[in-house]
C-alpha cells in the first residue's frame, strides 16, 4: 500500500500512521468490489448498511448524471427545488403515520443532533425548561458528534474518554430477546423519578446496530411508545441503520406498529450514493418547535436528492419484502447451526442481517485476510462477525458470504 496512504490518511476508528491495512478499491459494480490486484470481493457490509441496491445501479446512475447537468447544488435557505420536494413527499408517504415534517441534512449524526435539538426546544417552548436530558437504552449507537455521542452506550460506545465533557443522560437496561418486561420496568422506574428533566427517549428500533448488533422483541417498542406518552417524554426513533427494508419491514417501527414523535433516517436513504439524512417530526412537534436554528450548508443538496429519489423508487418498485425474506432464510439456515460450536456465544438473524457473536474477541486483521482470500468483504469488530448484504445479493453469493463466515468461525 502507498506510503502516503499509510502515514497521512486518517481512517475511521483508526490512528495515523495506520496500523490496520486498508485495501484499495478500484471500482465497484453490483455486489462486487474490485481490489487493487483485480481480486473481487462481495461486499457483505453494504458499505455500512447503505448500498442496498448494490454499486453502480443503472437507474440511480442515470438520475444523478442528468441531475449534474441541470444543477448539482443550490443553497436551501430561501431557495428550493423539485428534487427536495419529491424526497420529502416520498419520506412522508412511506414512514410511520403522523410524521409529515421533514428536515434534510447531510449525515446521520447531524440528523440525530437535529432530533435532540428539536426535542429540547419543544419543551422549552412549552415552558418546561427543565426537560433537557435524554433517556436511552444501553448498547445504543447514534453517531460520533457531541450530542450523538452523549446518547451512545457510555461504556461500549467508543467515546468513553469524552464522558467528562459530555452532557450526562439516563441509561436504562438494554432490551434483548425475551427481556422486554425487565427492560421496560427499568425505563419506567427511571421516568417515574426523572421525567421532569427528560425531553425525550432515543433508541434504534428492533436492532441496535454498531453498539453490538443486538436484536430485540417488538413488545419493548410497544411498551416504550406507551410509557413515553404516559410520562410526557418525546420518542425519537433512530432508523439510520434499520430504515429502508433492512429488518424485513420498510422501517423498524413497523414491527411494533408504532409512530415516534421524531424519526431519523440516513445511510440507505440514497442507496449509498451520497451522504444524506433526514429528521422527520409530527405536526405537534413542528408546531411547538417553531423556528429551528439549524441549516447545514449542503442541506437538501440536489445531487443527493436525485440519488435518494431514484433509490427509493428502485426499492419500492422491487419485490423487496419477499427478497429480504429470501436473504433472511438463507442467513438463518446457514448461520444458525453455528450456535453448536463451542467458541460461538450466539447467532442472531433478522431481515437481511446475520450476526455471529463469539465468546472471545476476533482478530480483525487475520479474519479479514481470510475473508478476502475467500472473496468476501466483512468488517468484524470485537466479538462480532456479521453481514448485512445488499438486497440484490443472489443466493450463490449469499452462500459464499455464509460459507466464508463459517470457515472463519470454525478456525477461531
Ligand X SMILES: *Cc1c(COP(=O)(O)O)cnc(C)c1O
Would you tell me which residues interact with ligand X (CB under 6 A)? 107-109, 112, 141-143, 204, 209-210, 238, 240-241, 266-267
Cell 442507496 belongs to residue: 271
Residue 174: CB minimum distance to ligand X, A: 14
Unique residue bearing C-alpha cell 423487496: 320
Query: Taking a C-beta distance cutoff of 8 angstroms, is the pair 240, 110 a contact?
Result: no
Specify whether 267 is catalytic. yes
Least distance from C-beta 114 to ligand X, angstroms?
12
Pick 32 or 251: Cβ nearer ligand X: 251
Rounded to whole angstroms, the Cα distance separating 266 from 244 reads: 10
Strand partners, 208: 214
Task: Kindly state the cell numbers that stand for 103.
Answer: 428536515
Neighbours of 130 (CB within 10 A): 12
Q: Minimum Å distance from CB 153 to ligand X? A: 12
Task: Name the catalytic one among 141, 220, 231, 273.
Answer: 141
Between 350 and 412, CB nearer to ligand X: 350
Of 389, 222, 391, 359, nearest in space to 404 by CA: 389
Smaller CB separation from ligand X, 272 or 302: 272
DSSP β-ladder status, 234-238 and 198-203: parallel
Q: State the DSSP code for 152.
A: S
Q: Please report, in angstroms and rounded to a whole number, the separation of the first and last CA atoms in the chain.
A: 27
Give the DSSP letter of residue 154: T
Helix orientation angle between 180-194 and 218-230, rounded to the nearest 10 degrees: 20
C-beta closer to ligand X: residue 107 or 393: 107
Q: Which of 131, 238, 261, 386 is catalytic?
A: 238
Instruction: Give the separation between CA 390 and CA 233, rounded to whole angstroms.
Output: 36
Among residues 117, 131, 218, 267, the one annotated as catalytic is 267
Cis ω for the linkage preceding 20 (within 30 of 0) = no
Q: How far is the CB of 252 from ligand X (least distance, A)?
A: 10
Based on the residue annotation, tell me whether 141 is a catalytic residue of this protein: yes
Nearer to ligand X, 31 or 241 (CB): 241
Q: Find the length of the chain.
A: 412
Q: Are 115 and 239 in contact (CB under 8 A)?
A: no
Measured from the CB atom, the residue of 109 and 368 that comes closer to ligand X is 109
Give the Cα separation of 411 and 371 in Å (integer): 12
Please indicate whether residue 69 is annotated as part of the active site: no
122 is catalytic: no
Helix or strand or coil: residue 238?
strand
Q: Which of 389, 403, 376 is nearest to 349 (CA)?
A: 389
Q: Which is nearer to ligand X, 210 or 253 (CB)?
A: 210
How far, in Å, CA of 200 to CA of 345, rounded?
34
Return the residue nearest ligand X (CB atom): 108
Query: CA–CA separation, 85 vs 102, rounded Å?
Result: 10
Q: How far is the CB of 2 from ligand X (least distance, A)?
A: 26
Catalytic residue numbers read 13, 141, 238, 267
Amino acid at each position: 500500500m502507498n506510503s502516503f496512504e499509510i502515514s497521512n490518511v486518517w481512517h475511521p476508528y483508526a490512528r495515523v500512521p495506520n496500523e490496520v491495512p486498508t485495501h484499495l478499491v478500484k471500482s465497484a459494480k453490483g455486489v462486487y468490489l474490485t481490489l487493487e490486484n483485480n481480486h473481487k470481493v462481495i461486499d457483505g457490509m453494504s458499505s455500512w448498511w447503505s448500498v442496498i441496491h448494490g454499486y453502480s445501479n443503472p437507474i440511480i446512475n442515470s438520475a444523478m448524471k442528468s441531475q449534474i447537468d441541470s444543477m448539482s447544488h443550490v443553497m436551501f435557505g430561501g431557495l428550493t427545488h423539485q428534487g427536495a420536494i419529491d424526497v420529502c413527499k416520498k419520506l412522508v408517504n412511506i414512514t410511520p403515520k403522523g410524521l409529515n415534517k421533514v428536515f434534510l441534512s447531510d449525515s446521520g449524526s447531524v440528523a440525530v443532533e437535529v432530533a435532540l435539538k428539536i426535542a429540547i426546544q419543544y419543551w422549552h417552548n412549552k415552558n418546561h425548561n427543565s426537560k433537557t436530558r435524554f433517556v436511552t437504552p444501553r448498547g445504543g449507537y447514534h453517531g460520533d458528534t457531541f450530542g450523538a455521542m452523549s446518547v451512545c452506550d457510555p461504556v461500549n460506545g467508543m467515546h468513553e474518554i469524552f464522558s467528562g465533557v459530555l452532557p450526562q443522560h439516563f441509561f436504562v437496561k438494554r432490551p434483548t430477546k425475551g427481556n422486554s418486561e425487565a427492560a421496560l420496568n427499568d425505563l419506567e422506574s427511571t421516568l417515574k423519578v426523572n421525567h421532569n428533566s427528560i425531553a425525550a427517549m432515543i433508541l434504534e428500533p428492533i436492532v441496535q446496530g454498531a453498539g453490538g448488533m443486538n436484536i430485540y422483541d417488538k413488545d419493548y417498542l410497544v411498551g416504550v411508545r406507551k410509557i413515553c406518552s404516559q410520562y410526557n417524554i418525546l420518542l425519537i426513533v433512530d432508523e439510520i441503520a434499520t430504515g429502508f427494508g433492512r429488518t424485513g419491514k420498510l422501517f423498524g417501527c413497523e414491527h411494533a406498529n408504532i409512530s415516534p414523535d421524531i424519526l431519523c433516517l440516513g445511510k440507505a436513504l440514497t442507496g449509498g450514493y451520497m451522504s444524506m439524512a433526514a429528521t422527520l417530526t409530527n405536526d405537534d412537534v413542528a408546531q411547538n418547535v417553531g423556528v429551528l436554528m439549524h441549516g447545514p450548508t449542503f442541506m437538501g443538496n440536489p445531487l443527493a436528492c436525485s440519488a435518494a429519489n431514484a433509490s427509493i423508487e428502485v426499492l419500492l418498485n422491487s419485490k423487496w419484502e419477499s427478497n429480504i425474506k429470501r436473504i433472511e432464510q438463507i442467513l438463518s439456515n446457514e448461520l444458525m447451526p453455528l450456535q453448536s460450536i463451542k467458541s460461538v456465544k450466539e447467532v442472531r438473524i433478522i431481515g437481511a442481517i446475520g450476526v455471529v457473536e463469539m465468546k472471545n474477541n476476533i482478530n480483525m486483521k487475520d479474519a479479514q485476510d481470510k475473508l478476502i482470500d475467500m472473496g468476501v468483504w466483512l468488517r468484524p469488530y470485537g466479538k462480532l462477525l456479521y453481514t448485512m448484504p445488499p438486497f440484490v445479493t443472489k443466493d450463490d453469493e449469499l452462500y459464499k458470504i455464509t460459507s466464508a463466515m463459517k470457515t472463519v468461525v470454525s478456525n477461531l
